Amino acid sequence: MSTPLLKFEDISKSTDNFELNDIALDLYPGEVHVLMGENGSGKSLLMQIACGGIEADSGSILYKGQRIADKAQITQLSVDSLYLRQDSSILKMLSIPENLFFEKMPYKIRLLNSIDYEKLNSMCLELIAEFNLPFTIYDNISDLGFAQKQIIKICRAYLSNASIIILDDLFSGLLESEKEILYVILDRLKSRGAGIFYITHNLNEVMEIGDRVTIIKDGRLRGTLEVKTSSEQDIINLLSAKYRMNSYPKLQVPIGKTVLAVENLNSIGVLKDINLELKKGEILGVTGLAGSGRTLLANCLFGFAPYTASSFEINGKQVSISSPHEAIKNGIALVPEDRARLSMFRYLDIFENVAFSSMKRFTNFFSINSMYLRQSVNDYIATFNIPSMTPDASIFDYSSGNQQKAVIAKWIMGREKIFIFDEPTRDIDIASKIDIYNSICNLVQKGVSIIIMSSDIDEIMGVCDRVAVLANNSLVCNEKIENITKKDIIKLSLDSSTDNA
Amino acid sequence: MFATERRRIIKEYLIENTRVSVVKLSTLFSVSEVTIRKDLEVLESEGFLQRIHGGAILCETEGELVPPTINVSDKKTLQEQMYIADVAYDFIADGETIMITAGATNRLIAKKLSTRQNLTILTNDIFVAFEFSKSFTNRLILLGGTLYENALYGQLTQNNLESFHINHAFIEIDAISIENGISVSSVDKASFIQQAFTRTKITTIVCLPDNFGTVSLFKVCDLNFPDKILTSQTLEDKFKKQIFEQDVQLYTSMSLYEE
C-alpha cells in the first residue's frame, strides 16, 4: 500500500491515571483499523492523540508522510480528523437536517448567515433516500432512539471532509438491520480514501468490516492482525493472552452460608430472570460487555433501579429493597462506577464524606462528638494511605484513586455486610488499586460478602471466588474461578452478543 | 456500671487477649462508642494500653503478661507486625505443611497461626517453636543446627530440611529492592532460605516497609522470584506499583473493618 495516512512512532504519554507506552501504529487511506481492548486500556487517550487533541510526551506522529513538528500541523491534523464518541452530544436544540449538515450549512447569502432551508431540507431528503435512513426530516431530535442518534453521527462523518475518522464504540447495542446502514456508509468512506479507526468490543463487527485489528492492553499494543487471514479464534487468543496472572492479592478465607439470594430478578427489559446467590466471605465477580446490564444489576440490588423479583432474601429472611435507604438498613453498600456523581458530597470535606454513613456511632445523646469523629476518620484515612491536604480541601481536589478509597472507607466505617463494587478500579492508579484489593481482602476476612462488577477480566480472575457472565439479558455462567479460563469468559460474553444481533 | 468497674474489666480482657476493639467493648457493656473511647483514652494516659485503629493493644512490658518472644518496646512496629500476622492467617488452609523462618514478624505470624488446626509447622526459630509449644492441635518440627540469635542455621539445618515437602513458606528477609532483589544479613541465612525455596510450593516474603529500597549483605533471589510479598500498608506507593508490575502478589495489612 501507499504511504500511511497517519503513523505513530513510539508514542508515550502519561496522565494521572493512564500510561501509554511506546505505541507504534499506522492507518492507511481506505482502511478500517479496529482497536480492541478492555475499558481503561488507553484506547480513548490514544485516539485523542490521533486527532491532535492531546500532545504526546514523547515519540512522533507522521501525517501523510510528514512528521508533525509545529502547531500549524497539529491544527491541520485536528481539522482533518473527526472523533465521534458514543456519548458525544447531538445538538438537541437543532432539527435533524441542521444536525446532519452542521458543518456544511447551505447559505442564501453567506455574509448575512441566512440559511437556505429549502436547500437544506432537499439535501437531507436526498441523503435519507440514498441510505434509507430510519427517520424523517421532521422528527424531533429528542424523540430519536439511541440507534438513530448513532446513525446521525455516522452520517455526519460521511458528509464531512475528514480524512481520519475515529468511531469510538459507536455501535454497540445496535440491531443488525441498523448496522447495515452503517456498513454501507463505512464502505463509502473507505472508497473516498478516508482512514477509519474503529473501536469496538464486538468480535462480529471486527470480522465483518475490519481490515486490520489491533489489541491494546494496559497502555501497550499487544499485536496487530490482518482480519482476512485471521480467524475469530486468533483474535480471542490475542485478547485473552495473559500478561499478568499472579499479581492480585487473594486470601483463602473459608466461605460460609448464603447471605444474599435473589430469584427471578427482572428490570426494565434489560435484565431477565436473574438468579443470584452470595455466601458469607465470598467474592462474586460479574462481567459482561458494555451495555450488558452490569451497572443496572448493581443498582437493582441497591434499590436504586426499578425491578421485580420473586424472592429477595438476606440471611434467609425475605426483605423488600426498593430504595438505597432500605438497602443500607439491610447492610448492603454500593461503590458506584460514577463515583463523582453518585457517591461524593462536593461541599463536604473528606472527613464528613467518610463519616457520612456512620454518624450515629459518634453521637452522645443529641450531639455529634466531632473530636472522636475526626480521630476515627483519621485512622481510616491513614490506613488507606490517603494523603492529607489542607482541611478546607473539597473531596474533589483529591486524585481519583484517593476519592475511590474515601468512598470505600465510608462504607467500611459504616460496617455494612454486603459490598457491591461497580468497576472499583477503573481510571485509578496502580498503588490505589493495590490498596483497594487489599481492603477487599480485609473485608472478606471479617466475614463481609462482596460482588464485583468489572469489565477487567484479569481483575475478575485474580480477585474473585466465583464468576458470573452477563449476556443476552441474563447470567449465562456461574462457575468457580478455578473451573473456568479467561478465554471461556471472553467467549461467553462475545458469543451471546452474536445471538442477540 | 461505674466507669472504674468498666475499666477494670477492660484491663482484664486486654491482659488475656493482648488486643481489644471499641465495637466489641461497646456491645459488651451496652454503652456508646464515645464512652468506650473515653475509657481507652484514660487507660492510655495511665500507660496501660496503646490505642490503635478501632481499639487498643496491651502496653505492659514487665511480668508474665507478654510472652518473651515478642518485643513490645517499639509500639508502632509491633502494631504493624500484628496486622501483618492477621493477613497471614488466611494465606493457608487447615492441614497444610508450612514453614516459618526466623524473624520478629514471623514470630507474631506463628502466634496467630497457633490458633489454627492440624498444621504441620517447620521452623528454625526457637521462639516460633515456643509459640506452638502450647498449641496441641498442630504439629511442630524444629530443625536442628547451630544457634545464632535465637535461630538455627548451618549445614545441619539444611540437611534436616532436605527431606520435607512444604506447601507454604513464610520467609522473613532483611532487605528488598527492584534493582538488587531480596537480600539478608548473613550467608548462612541466605543459603538456608535458598534451600527452603527448593522445598516449597508457595513462598511468601515477609518484611516491614522499612526494608524496601534497601540492600543487605547477601542476595537471596530476584524480586520477582517469590509468589507473594506480605508487608504493612504504610509501604510507599512507588514500591506497590513496581511489585505489581513484576507480577508478584503484594499483600498489605489493610486493617480497616471494625467488627
- According to DSSP, the residues that pair with A197 across neighbouring strands are A33, A166
Interface test with B, best of A335, A383, A444 (most B CBs within 10 A): A383
Residues of B in contact with A376 (CB under 8 A): 54
Helix/strand/coil for A96: helix
Q: Which residue of B has its CA nearest to A253?
A: B90
Task: Measure in Å the smallest separation between the Cα of B85 and chain A Cα atoms.
Answer: 12
Contacts of B6 by beta carbon, 8 Å cutoff, 6+ apart: B29, B31, B39
Residues in A touching B259 (Cβ below 8 Å): 415, 446-447
CA of B154 to nearest chain A CA: how many angstroms apart?
33
Residues in chain A closer than 8 A to B250 (CB atoms):
247, 249, 434, 438
Task: Report the alpha-carbon distance of residue A452 to residue A455 in Å, rounded.
Answer: 10
**B146-148/A212-217 β-pairing:** unpaired
CB proximity list for A192: less than 8 A, separation 6 or greater:
none
Closest residue in chain A to residue B204, using alpha carbons only: A249
Closest Cβ–Cβ partner in A245, A247, A439 for B256 = A439
Helix (H) or strand (E) holding B13: helix B3-17
Helical ranges in A330-463 per DSSP H: 339-342, 350-355, 370-383, 400-413, 430-445, 457-463
How far apart are alpha carbons B223 and B176 in whole angstroms? 7
List CB contacts (< 8 A) between A431 and chain B.
Answer: 237-238, 240-241
Strand pairing partners for A63? A6, A66
Contact A415 B87 (CB under 8 A): no
Residue A362's contacts (CB-CB under 8 Å, 6 or more residues apart) are A355, A368, A369, A370, A372, A373, A376, B33, B34
Q: What is the separation of C-alpha A6 from the centre of its chain, rounded to a whole number of angstroms?
A: 26
Closest CA to B130 of B146, B105, B111: B111
ipTM of the complex in this document: 0.83
Which amino acid makes up residue A233? Answer: Q
Rounded-to-integer distance, Cα B2 and Cα A182, Å: 78
Chain B residue numbers touching A379 (CB-CB < 8 A): 53-54
Number of A to B CB contacts under 8 A, please give it: 115
Q: What is the tens place of the pLDDT at every residue in A243-281?
A: 556 689 999 899 999 999 999 999 988 899 999 999 999
Closest partner residue to B256 (CB to CB) among A245, A250, A384 is A384
Binary contact (A431, B241; C-beta < 8 A): yes
Rounded to the nearest angstrom, the gap between the alpha carbon of residue B110 and the centroid of all alpha carbons in its chain is: 7
Which cell numbers in the block locate residue B255? Answer: 486493617
pLDDT in the model for residue B28: 84
Out of A252, A429, A443, the one facing B257 most closely (by C-beta) is A443
pTM for this prediction: 0.75
CA distance A261 to A371: 40
Backbone angles phi, psi at A400, to 5 degrees: -60, -35
Q: Residue A372's Cα: distance from chain center in Å?
A: 39
pLDDT, position A1: 53
- Report the relative pairing of strands A363-364 and B49-52 from DSSP bridges: unpaired
Nearest to B232, CA basis, from B95, B100, B78: B78
Q: Which residues pair with B148 in a beta bridge?
A: B151
DSSP letter for B152, please: E
Strand, coil or helix: what is A354?
helix
CB contact under 8 A, A380 and B53: yes
Helices (H), A330-399: 339-342, 350-355, 370-383
The secondary structure of residue A308, as a DSSP letter, is: B
B53–A248: do the CB atoms touch at under 8 Å? no
Could you tell me the strand order of the sheet in which A195-199 lies?
A81-85, A164-168, A195-199, A32-36, A212-217, A220-226
| Minimum Cα–Cα distance from A378: chain B residue | B53
In tens digits, what is the pLDDT along chain B, a chain of 259 residues?
678 888 888 888 887 777 888 888 888 888 888 888 888 988 888 778 888 888 888 875 544 445 555 666 677 788 889 899 999 999 999 899 999 999 999 999 998 999 898 999 999 999 999 889 888 889 999 999 999 888 999 999 999 999 899 999 999 999 999 999 999 999 999 999 999 999 999 999 999 999 999 999 999 999 989 999 999 999 998 899 889 888 899 999 988 888 7
Average pLDDT over residues A285-293: 84
Locate A420 and state its grid cell.
Answer: 457491591
* Chain B residue with the nearest C-alpha to that of A365: B32
Q: What is the pLDDT of residues B152-204, one digit of tens each?
A: 999 999 999 998 999 999 999 999 999 999 999 999 999 999 999 999 999 99
The torsion angles phi and psi of B177, rounded to 5 degrees, stand at -155, 160
- Chain A residues with CB-CB distance to B23 below 8 A: 415
Q: Which residue is listed with cell 471532509? A: A161
DSSP characters over A124-172: HHHHHHHHT-SS-TTS-GGG--HHHHHHHHHHHHHHS--SEEEEES--T
Chain A CB contacts of B201 under 8 Å are none
Asked if the Cβ–Cβ distance from B53 to A252 is below 8 Å, we say: no
A249, B255: Cβ pair inside 8 Å? no
- Cα angle A145, A148, A152 (rounded to 5 degrees) comes to 135
Nearest CA in chain B to A218: B245
* Cβ pair A169, A290 in contact under 8 A: yes
Task: For residue B164, give how far its alpha carbon lies from the nearest alpha carbon of chain A (Å).
Answer: 23
Distance, CA of A58 to CA of A45 (rounded, Å): 14
